[in-house]
Every structure is written in structure tokens, then in C-alpha cells.
Amino acid sequence: MDIDAELAARFYPDPPASVPPYDRALAARLREDRRRDGNNLRFYRSAAWRRVRAEVLGSMHMESLLELSGSPARVARADTVHHILRLDRYPGYALHPWALDGEGRVVRNLIPLTHAAHDLVHGRRFAGGQTKAPLLTPERW
């Protein structure tokens, strides 16, 4: 199980009894879009994704799961929804908040995160995110 799925299980301990079946038509369409466009922008701009994204963010009151797991007192406003079952590997679950993982277990598929936490989960680091030198410098006489 992916660390993301373990994190989601702590906040969503009671999965539904069943999940929607893997959507093969959606998977074929997303694969074709990715092949043609080279990215998933068409999907992320779709009305269906925006609707599901709003539902997921609302289900956690716009709070980022990663920050909540560190300290329940630390509230960070979520602005991104992360696919635990990656979109490029499981495109048929792209619009399902719950899904079946590779071992047949029901897992939370979509979790709210801040943009920074989403980059951290994916291991992305950007030059702009590095800390800058302090404004105060040592005195030199």
C-alpha cells in the first residue's frame, strides 16, 4: 500500500462497501488525450473533474490531509486534489473518490492537499522553493 493510501485510511477509516467499477471508456479517452496532447490538461479542465474536485475539497472542509496528519492543530487550506492511484496508471478511476488498489482493497483515491504538499508527495522541488539568505547580515567593522 502506498504511503498516501495509509495516510488517507487514517482520516477515512470506513470505506464504502462497494466502489464503482473501473471505467474503461474513461480510461481509453484519457489515454488517447494524453497520447495526442502529451499531458492531462484536457482532463483537469473538464467540468466532470472540477465537480469531483469540489466534492473532495468540501468533504474535508478545504483542509489539507498532509498538514492535518502532522498536527491536528495545524490547518492548511487545501487547493489541490491528489490521485493516490495515479492517473497515468489507473485512468479509469480518475473521477472516483474511492477505488480498488492492485490488491483488490478499497482505498481512498482522491485526497485534498495544499499545492506545496502535493509537490512534496510527488518528490518535486523547484529552484524558487529554496530558502533565501537572511535579510540581516553579520556586522563588519
Stretch 35-50: mean pLDDT, rounded?
A: 95
Phi and psi, residue 100, nearest 5°: -100, 130
Q: Residue 23's closest CA among 110, 92, 100? A: 92
> Cβ of 92: how many Cβ atoms within 10 Å?
20
pLDDT bracket for residue 135 (50, 70, 90)? very low
The per-residue pLDDT for range 26-40, each reduced to its tens digit, is 999 999 999 999 999
Q: What is d(CA 58, CA 91) in angstroms, rounded to the nearest whole number?
A: 23
Predicted structure pTM score: 0.78
**Per-residue pLDDT tens for 73-119?**
667 888 999 998 999 999 999 999 999 888 888 888 998 988 888 88
Question: Is the pLDDT reported for residue 131 higher than 80?
Answer: no
